[in-house]
Amino acid sequence: MTRILSALVLALAAVCGYAQDTPGVLAESAPNRYVVTSGDTLWGIAARFLKDPWRWPELWRMNREQVRNPGRIHPGDVIVLERDSDGTPYLRLETVKLQPAIHATRLTPAIPPIPPNAIEPFISAPLVVEAGELEHAARIVATQQDRVFLGNGDLAYVENAPPEIALWQVYRNGRPLYDPESPKEILGYEAFHLGTAKQIRAGTPATFEIQTVKQEIGRGDRLVPASTPVLVDYIPHRPDRAIEARVISIYGGVGSAGRGSIISLSRGDRDGLEVGHVLVVERNRTMAGRDEKDRAYAIPIPREQIGLAFVFRSFSRIAYALILQSEGTVNVNDFVRTP
């Protein structure tokens, strides 16, 4: 019986382990009160109170549904740091005692988890598509007056376009992205976002009008339905289970990334990644050279934490993340994992 009780206690401690060391998560200069201002983000406010901002839900004592659908925090709200009788800290919104009066409806928008301008283009027009996603997509089969490239207002003739969809994004497959752990397996492609088009007449082929052009559009390019951007509304939090992935691309075709950069990861929904997850970024480095006998050697250097990344969009096998903190450059093939 003693063993059973001991096992139960250990299991509960594993599930609620953060409760034991919550007092140690506060930032050294954590304020007792903070007034939310316009331009704040949840991540920025969390960093004021916590050493590890992803532990924000713990101090609010949120359950899983609250993390997925967070309570709204608006400019003007006052966040108060309190402590239980045992010294365990927690956060709450200051309650204002209302007097009989006519009260206006709140019009100020809730503060976002992370800066929305950094990720909005990647929500409306992703620049990485999963393997096979474009193979059966609608395709431009002919152009107006056999033009090689199309511009704003030009017409394109498209096959496999459902007639009920009006607005579309135009893409072209780019460089394949391989799984670092299975080098022959393609996870997706760095798709080139070429522009937008509108279906003006259904048919086989359908007639489309080019609306915007970012890069040259021509015969053979693919179209996918345009979606209305939905900005991230999840509380930054750590995954419930151990996840490890690699950085497989950096937006812009550059060799390294830093704070504010967008990276693509080699894991997605099916691996347990979801919007709102915060991951540690670690350097993946190997020291290579030749010894005194001219023999080649390669020594893996111990991992070193260099930053934090916030997952803001996740597909089946690939996810987008924004680098929130960086103490060094982040490179393709670096590791990301559960904190």
Residue type, 6: S
| Distance of alpha carbon 253 from alpha carbon 264, whole angstroms | 12
Are the C-beta atoms of 55 and 28 separated by less than 8 Å? no
| Distance of alpha carbon 333 from alpha carbon 248, whole angstroms | 6
Q: What is the mean pLDDT of residues 84-88?
A: 88
| Distance of alpha carbon 311 from alpha carbon 295, whole angstroms | 42
Decide if pLDDT at 14 tops 70. no
Give the range among 4-8, 236-240, 250-254 with minimum mean pLDDT. 4-8
Helix (H) or strand (E) holding 57: helix 56-60
Per-residue pLDDT of 122-164, as tens digits, reads 776 666 777 777 888 999 999 988 788 999 999 999 999 999 9
| Distance of alpha carbon 27 from alpha carbon 119, whole angstroms | 27
Per-residue model confidence (pLDDT) at position 290 = 77
Select the more confidently predicted residue: 105 or 315: 315
Decide if pLDDT at 25 tops 70. yes
Q: Residues of the chain with pLDDT > 70: what percent?
A: 86
Decide if pLDDT at 9 tops 80. no
Per-residue model confidence (pLDDT) at position 108 = 66
Q: What is the mean pLDDT of residues 154-183?
A: 90
Q: Distance of CA 97 to CAs 78, 82, 94, 133, 195, Å?
A: 13, 19, 10, 54, 52
Average pLDDT, the chain: 83
Residue type, 210: I
Select the more confidently predicted residue: 117 or 13: 117
Collapsed DSSP state (helix, strand, coil) of residue 63:
coil
How many other C-beta atoms are found inside a 10 Å radius of the C-beta of residue 317?
Answer: 21
| Distance of alpha carbon 197 from alpha carbon 211, whole angstroms | 5
Per-residue model confidence (pLDDT) at position 97 = 54
Strands 335-337, 278-283: pairing kind: antiparallel
Select the more confidently predicted residue: 6 or 216: 216
Number of DSSP helices (H) and strands (E) in the chain, helices first: 6, 22
Are the C-beta atoms of 336 and 322 separated by less than 8 Å? no
Length of the chain as a residue count: 339
Per-residue model confidence (pLDDT) at position 2 = 39
Per-residue model confidence (pLDDT) at position 306 = 93
Give the range among 23-32, 214-223, 329-338 with minimum mean pLDDT. 23-32
Decide if pLDDT at 24 tops 80. no
Q: What is the mean pLDDT of residues 222-249?
A: 87
| Distance of alpha carbon 208 from alpha carbon 157, whole angstroms | 6
Per-residue pLDDT of 244-301, as tens digits, reads 999 998 876 667 888 999 999 999 999 999 999 999 999 987 777 777 777 777 777 7
Per-residue model confidence (pLDDT) at position 12 = 32
How many other C-beta atoms are found inside a 10 Å radius of the C-beta of residue 308?
Answer: 24
Are the C-beta atoms of 73 and 110 separated by less than 8 Å? yes
Per-residue model confidence (pLDDT) at position 239 = 94
| Distance of alpha carbon 124 from alpha carbon 230, whole angstroms | 8
Decide if pLDDT at 11 tops 60. no
Q: What is the mean pLDDT of residues 58-71?
A: 78
Give the range among 65-74, 240-249, 280-289, 299-308 with minimum mean pLDDT. 65-74
| Distance of alpha carbon 234 from alpha carbon 180, whole angstroms | 29
Select the more confidently predicted residue: 192 or 324: 324
How many other C-beta atoms are found inside a 10 Å radius of the C-beta of residue 182?
Answer: 10
Strands 286-290, 296-300: pairing kind: antiparallel
Per-residue model confidence (pLDDT) at position 140 = 97
The pLDDT confidence band at residue 70, using thresholds 50, 70 and 90, is confident
Per-residue model confidence (pLDDT) at position 126 = 62
Q: Which domains does the chain have, with CATH numbers?
A: 19-93 (3.10.450), 119-225 (no CATH), 244-337 (2.40.10)
